C-alpha cells in the first residue's frame, strides 16, 4: 500500500483505472495546498485557510442522487422520491465513460476511515480529480495512521469527477450532475458538481444502510458533545437548525458535529472533521467556529474574498447563503479524543419552525420523542439545497431523510430501543421564529437557544415547573435563566392570539397528515400523541 507518494498511472487497476497520469496517494495537507494553488483551484487567505468556489452547485443536488437497483439491496431500500433507482446496466455504461474521461489525468487518493470506533469503522478510498476535494476528504473522514495505511483494505470507494458531465438522454440521469451509490460494487460515483458535501453525504448514506442491516447500530444525523460530568448529549437536526453551532460549546467537549453511530457501548463519530455553515458567522456568538475560518487546513467554500488582501468577508452571500467551512476536529479547542463517548443522557431534537408556533424548548415523553423523530419537522433553510431561496416546510424522517436508504421505522425502532434501555431525557428545541411566522416574527436569538440548551443539559429545567400547551401537548418550562419568561410560551409572543391559534392548528394538521404513513409501523400510543 502506497502513502504520501506519487506514482504514474498505476495502483488503481482494481477500480478499472489503468491510464491515469500522476496519482497522489494520501497526500498531506501542505502538499494538497501546493496543488490547489498551482492548479488554480483556490486561494490562500490572509490567515492561512484555503478559499474555493464550487461553481453552479452551491448545495446538494438532491434530485440527482440515485441508488443502483440490484438484487443484493433492492428489497431493503425504501424506494421513492428520495431513494431513486438506477439500473446496473446504466451504471456500468456511465462508469465506463468516466474511466475513459480519466485517461491521462492526475488523480488524488485518500485512503481513510468512516467511523472513529475501531470495531465498526468502514475503510474507504476517496479518488478525486481536484486537489481541494482530496483535502476535503482528508478533513472530513478519519485519517489513517501510517501503520494503518500499510494494512488498509478499503471496503467502499468514492470516485469524484466534478468536470465529467453526464448526458441525461444517454446516461439516464436528470441533468449533467449525478451521485450514484452501488452497494453491489461497493462504490459511489459523483460527477457534474463540485459541491464537496456530496462526498461526505454519500458515505453517510452508505453507513445508514450498512450499520443497521449488518450490526444493528443506529446511524444518526446529529452532533454530540460531553459535559464535565461525562454526560453525553445528542443534537438531531437538518442543516441550518443549529447542530454545529449549539454543540460547539466551550464548556463541553465536542464529539462531532453531524454524523454518529450508537451501539451497545455508546456513541461514536463517523467523521474526523466538521462542515459548518458560516454565513454571517459572528466572533462573539460562535467564537470556536469563527476561529477555524482563520486556520491553516480549513477549506472555505464559496466565501467572498478580496483577491488583493486575501481577507474574507463572512457576511457576503453573493455566491450563496450556504457558505461552508470544512476543518479538522482538532481545530476546535475542546474535543473528545478518539471520537467516542458514553450513552446519551440527553437527546435534543432541533427544528427551525418557520411558522413561529413551536416553543423555544419543550420536554418530550418517550412517545413524543419517537413521534418527532419520525416526523423530522423543520424548515429547509436557503442554500442547503439548490433551488431553495426561502425557508420552506418539510418533514424529513429521522432528521435526515435524504440520507436514509432504509424505511424510517427501522431507525425509529433502534432509537426507541436505546432510549428505553439507557433512559435519555428528550427535548424539542425550536431555533426558528417567534412572535409570528417567517416575514413577520423574528428569529430566536442564538444566545437564548444556548441558555435553554445549557439549562436542559444541566438539569435546571427538569427541576423547575412546566405547563402543557393544548395543541401539541408539549411540556413547556415556565422559567429558564437568561431567557425572558414571555418567550417560552409562543402564544404569548404573538400580538394576534387568534392568528396564532389558527396557524398552530394548521401545523398540527400537517403533522397528523404526514404521520399517517407511519401509523402501521408504530404503536397506537405513539401515533396518537397529538
Q: Is 324 a catalytic residue?
A: yes
Supply the CATH number for residue 310's domain.
2.170.8.10
Q: Is 492 a catalytic residue?
A: no
- Do the Cβ atoms of 488 and 452 come closer than 8 Å? no
Catalytically annotated residue among 130, 243, 380, 418 = 243
For residue range 263-294, what is the model confidence (pLDDT) as tens digits? 999 999 999 999 999 999 999 989 999 999 99
Compute CA 348 distance to the chain's CA centroid, rounded to the nearest angstrom: 16
On the 0-12 / 13-18 / 19+ scale of CB atoms within 10 A, 421 is exposed
For residue range 99-128, what is the model confidence (pLDDT) as tens digits? 999 999 999 999 999 999 999 999 999 999
Mean pLDDT of 496-520: 95
Mean pLDDT of 201-229: 97
Torsion on CA atoms 187, 192, 194, 199, rounded to nearest 10: -20
pLDDT for 1 equals: 42
- One domain, residues 342 and 231: yes
- Which letter, b or e, does each residue of 126-143 get, where b requires 16 or more Cβ atoms within 10 Å of its Cβ? bbbbbbbbbbbbbbbbbb
Cα–Cα distances in Å, from 381 out to 278, 353, 356, 391? 13, 10, 15, 5
Q: Cβ–Cβ contacts within 10 Å for residue 40, how many?
A: 7
Mean pLDDT of 249-262: 96
- Do the Cβ atoms of 58 and 324 come closer than 8 Å? no
Q: Is 201 a catalytic residue?
A: yes
Instruction: Give the three cell numbers for residue 354.
Output: 418557520
Catalytically annotated residue among 35, 60, 152, 277 = 60
Name the maximum alpha-carbon separation found in the chain.
71
Q: Is residue 508 part of a domain?
A: yes
| pLDDT higher than 60, residue 382 | no
Catalytically annotated residue among 58, 193, 223, 244 = 244
- One domain, residues 473 and 404: yes
Instruction: Give the three cell numbers for residue 523.
Output: 404503536
Dist CA 81 CA 395 (whole Å): 13
- Do the Cβ atoms of 190 and 202 come closer than 8 Å? yes
- One domain, residues 104 and 145: yes
Determine which of 228-232, 281-285, 296-300 has the lowest per-residue pLDDT on average. Answer: 281-285
Q: Express the helix, strand and coil content of the chain in percent, nearest 5 each.
A: 30, 25, 45
Tell me what the pLDDT averaged over the chain comes to.
Answer: 94
Catalytically annotated residue among 130, 152, 221, 454 = 221
Supply the CATH number for residue 36's domain.
3.40.449.10
Compute CA 420 distance to the chain's CA centroid, rounded to the nearest angstrom: 26
Q: Is 239 a catalytic residue?
A: yes
For residue range 398-454, what is the model confidence (pLDDT) as tens digits? 999 999 999 999 999 999 999 999 999 999 999 999 999 988 999 999 999 999 999
Residue 176: pLDDT band (50, 70, 90) is very high
- One domain, residues 180 and 80: yes
Dist CA 394 CA 483 (whole Å): 28
pLDDT for 380 equals: 66
Nearest residue to 282 via CA among 298, 293, 296, 295: 293
Count of all residues that appear for the chain in the document: 530
pLDDT for 6 equals: 82
Total number of domains constituting the chain: 3
Catalytically annotated residue among 69, 249, 258, 353 = 258
- One domain, residues 508 and 398: yes
| pLDDT higher than 90, residue 334 | yes
Instruction: Give the three cell numbers for residue 274.
Output: 466538521
- One domain, residues 111 and 153: yes
Q: Is residue 207 part of a domain?
A: no
- One domain, residues 79 and 129: yes
| pLDDT higher than 80, residue 90 | yes
Range of the domain at 522: 218-271+337-527
Dist CA 404 CA 159 (whole Å): 21
Catalytically annotated residue among 239, 346, 449, 493 = 239
Mean pLDDT of 357-369: 96
Q: Is 56 a catalytic residue?
A: no
Instruction: Give the three cell numbers for residue 424.
Output: 435519555
Catalytically annotated residue among 201, 252, 343, 450 = 201
Catalytically annotated residue among 200, 324, 331, 363 = 324
Residue 11: pLDDT band (50, 70, 90) is confident
pTM over 0.85: yes
Q: Is 386 a catalytic residue?
A: no
Amino acid at each position: 500500500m502506497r502513502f504520501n507518494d506519487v506514482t504514474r498511472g498505476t495502483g488503481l487497476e482494481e477500480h478499472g483505472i489503468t491510464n491515469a497520469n500522476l496519482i497522489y496517494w494520501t497526500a498531506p495537507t501542505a502538499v494538497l495546498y501546493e496543488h490547489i494553488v498551482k492548479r488554480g483551484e483556490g486561494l490562500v487567505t490572509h490567515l492561512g485557510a484555503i478559499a474555493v468556489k464550487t461553481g453552479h452547485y452551491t448545495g446538494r443536488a438532491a434530485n440527482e442522487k440515485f441508488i443502483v437497483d440490484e438484487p443484493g439491496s433492492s428489497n431493503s431500500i425504501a424506494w421513492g422520491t428520495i431513494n431513486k433507482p438506477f439500473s446496473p446496466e446504466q451504471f456500468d455504461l456511465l462508469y465506463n465513460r468516466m474511466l475513459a474521461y480519466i485517461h491521462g489525468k492526475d488523480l488524488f487518493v485518500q485512503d481513510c476511515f468512516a467511523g472513529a470506533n475501531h470495531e465498526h469503522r468502514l475503510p474507504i478510498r476517496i479518488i478525486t480529480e481536484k486537489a481541494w476535494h482530496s483535502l476535503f476528504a482528508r478533513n472530513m473522514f478519519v485519517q489513517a495512521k501510517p501503520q494503518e495505511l500499510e494494512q488498509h483494505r478499503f471496503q467502499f470507494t468514492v470516485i469524484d469527477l466534478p468536470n465529467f458531465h453526464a448526458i441525461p438522454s444517454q446516461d439516464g440521469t436528470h441533468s449533467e450532475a449525478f451521485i450514484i451509490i452501488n452497494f453491489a460494487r461497493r462504490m459511489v460515483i459523483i460527477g457534474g458538481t463540485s459541491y464537496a458535501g456530496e462526498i461526505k453525504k454519500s458515505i453517510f448514506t452508505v453507513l445508514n444502510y450498512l450499520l443497521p442491516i449488518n450490526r444493528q447500530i443506529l446511524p444518526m444525523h446529529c452532533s454530540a458533545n460531553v459535559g464535565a460530568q461525562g454526560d453525553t448529549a445528542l443534537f438531531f437536526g437538518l442543516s441550518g437548525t443549529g447542530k454545529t453551532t449549539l454543540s460547539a460549546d466551550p464548556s463541553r467537549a465536542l464529539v462531532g458535529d453531524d454524523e454518529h453511530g450508537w451501539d451497545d457501548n455508546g456513541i461514536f463519530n463517523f467523521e474526523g472533521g466538521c462542515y459548518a455553515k458560516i454565513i454571517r458567522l459572528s466572533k462573539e456568538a460562535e467564537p470556536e467556529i469563527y476561529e477555524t475560518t482563520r486556520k491553516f487546513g480549513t477549506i472555505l467554500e464559496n466565501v467572498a474574498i478580496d483577491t488583493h488582501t486575501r481577507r474574507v468577508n463572512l457576511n457576503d452571500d453573493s455566491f450563496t447563503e450556504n457558505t461552508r467551512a470544512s476543518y479538522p476536529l482538532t481545530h476546535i479547542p475542546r474535543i473528545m479524543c478518539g471520537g467516542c463517548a458514553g450513552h446519551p443522557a440527553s437527546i435534543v431534537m432541533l427544528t427551525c419552525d418557520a411558522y413561529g408556533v413551536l416553543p423555544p424548548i419543550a420536554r418530550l415523553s418517550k412517545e413524543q420523542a419517537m413521534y418527532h423523530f419520525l416526523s423530522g419537522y423543520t424548515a429547509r433553510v436557503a442554500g442547503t439545497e439548490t433551488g431553495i431561496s426561502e425557508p420552506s416546510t418539510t418533514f424529513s424522517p429521522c432528521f435526515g431523510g435524504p440520507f436514509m436508504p432504509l424505511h424510517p421505522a427501522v431507525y425509529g425502532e433502534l432509537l426507541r430501543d436505546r432510549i428505553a434501555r439507557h433512559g435519555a431525557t428528550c427535548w424539542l428545541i425550536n431555533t426558528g421564529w417567534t412572535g409570528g411566522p417567517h416575514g413577520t416574527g423574528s428569529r430566536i436569538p442564538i444566545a437564548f437557544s444556548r441558555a435553554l440548551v445549557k439549562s436542559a443539559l444541566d438539569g435546571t429545567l427538569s427541576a423547575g415547573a412546566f405547563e402543557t400547551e393544548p395543541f401539541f401537548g408539549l411540556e413547556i418550562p415556565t422559567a429558564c435563566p437568561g431567557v425572558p419568561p414571555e418567550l417560552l410560551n409562543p402564544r404569548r409572543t404573538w400580538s394576534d392570539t387568534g392568528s396564532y391559534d389558527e396557524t398552530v392548528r394548521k401545523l398540527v394538521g400537517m403533522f397528523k397528515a404526514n404521520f399517517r404513513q407511519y401509523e402501521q409501523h408504530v404503536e397506537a400510543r405513539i401515533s396518537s400523541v397529538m
